A and B are shown apart, each in its own frame.
Chain A
Amino acid sequence: MPAIELDGVTKRFGDVTALRGVDMAVDEGEVFGFLGPNGAGKTTTIDILLDYVRPTAGSARVFGHDVREDPRAVRERTGVLPEGFDVYERLTGRQHLAFVRESKAAGDDVDAVFERVGLEPDAADRKTGGYSRGMKQRLVLGMALVGDPDLLILDEPSTGLDPNGARRMRQIVREEAEDGTTVFFSSHILSQVEAVCDRVAILQDGEVVATDTVEGLRSAVDVGSVLTVSLAAPVDGVAEAAERVDGVESARSDGATVTVTGAGDEKMAVLTAIEDAGGDVEDFSVEEASLDELFAAYTDRTGDEQ
Chain B
Amino acid sequence: MSDAGGDRSGVAVLDEAMREQFTWYVVAKKEFNDAVRSKGLWALSAVFTLLFVLPAGRIWWNQRSSDQQLGQQALDIGMQFFISRFYLDTVTLLVTIVVLFVGYAAVTKEKESGSLKLLLSLPFTRRDVIVGKVLGRSAVAAVPAAIGFGLTAVFFALTPFTFKAGVFLWFVLFSLTLVVVIAAIAVSISGAVSRNLYSLAGSVFVYVYFNFAWNSLANGVGNLLSNNLGIGGPARWHIVLFLKLFNPMQAFKTLTNSVLSERANAAQTARFGMFRQGETEMQTICADVLKGQPRTVQGMLGNQTVCQGGGSGVPFYFSDAAVFVYLLAWIAVAAGISYYTFDRVDL
Contacts and interface: CB of A to CB of B under 8 A. Distances in A.
- Same complex for A and B? Answer yes
Given A53-B346, A99-B30, A87 B122 contact: no
Nearest to B345: A54
A76 B128 CA distance: 14
Contact of B118 (A13, A71, A90, A143): A143
B113 interface: yes
A80 B121 contact: yes
B34 A103 contact: no
Contacts of A51: 120
Interface string B90-122: 000000000000000000000001110110111
A280 B255 CA distance: 100
Contacts of B126: 71
Given A72-B123, A72-B124, A75-B124, A105 B19 contact: yes
Interface in B32-47: 34, 37-38
Contact of A91 (B34, B114, B117, B346): B34
A75 B122 contact: yes
Contacts of A47: 346-347
B125 interface: yes
Residue of B115, B117, B120, B121 most packed against chain A (CB within 10 A):
B121
Contacts of B38: 90
A257 interface: no
Given A52-B347, A103-B124, A86 B30 contact: no
B135 interface: no
A84 B118 CA distance: 10
A214 interface: no
A104 interface: yes
B25 to A, nearest CB: 9
Contacts of A87: 115, 118
B191 to A, nearest CB: 14
Residue of B38, B115, B120, B122 most packed against chain A (CB within 10 A):
B122
B247 interface: no
Interface in A231-269: none
Contacts of A54: 344, 346
B120 A50 contact: yes
Interface in B149-204: none
A100 interface: yes
B114 A86 contact: yes
Interface residues of A, number: 31
Contacts, number: 72
A88 B123 contact: no
A72 B117 contact: no
A51 B127 CA distance: 13
A75 B121 contact: yes
A70 to B, nearest CB: 9
Contacts of B19: 102, 105
A53 B37 CA distance: 33
A51 B124 CA distance: 11
Contact of A84 (B23, B26, B117): B117
Nearest to A52: B347
Nearest to A55: B346
Contacts of A59: none
Interface in A33-73: 47, 50-54, 71-72
A100 B117 contact: no
A85 B122 CA distance: 13
A100 B119 CA distance: 9
Nearest to B122: A103
Contacts of A158: none
A78 B120 CA distance: 11
A217 B114 CA distance: 35
A50 B124 contact: no
A91 B115 CA distance: 12
Interface of A: 13, 47, 50-54, 71-72, 75-76, 78-80, 82, 84-88, 90-91, 99-100, 102-105, 140, 143-144
Q: What are the 10 A-B residue pairs with the smallest beta carbon separation, nearest first?
A: A80-B121, A86-B113, A86-B114, A103-B122, A82-B117, A53-B346, A76-B123, A52-B347, A75-B123, A85-B117
Interface of B: 19, 23, 26, 30, 34, 37-38, 113-115, 117-118, 120-126, 128, 344, 346-347
25 contacts: A47-B346, A50-B117, A51-B120, A52-B117, A52-B347, A53-B346, A72-B23, A72-B123, A75-B120, A75-B121, A75-B123, A80-B121, A85-B114, A85-B115, A86-B113, A86-B115, A88-B34, A88-B115, A91-B34, A99-B26, A99-B30, A100-B122, A102-B19, A103-B26, A143-B118
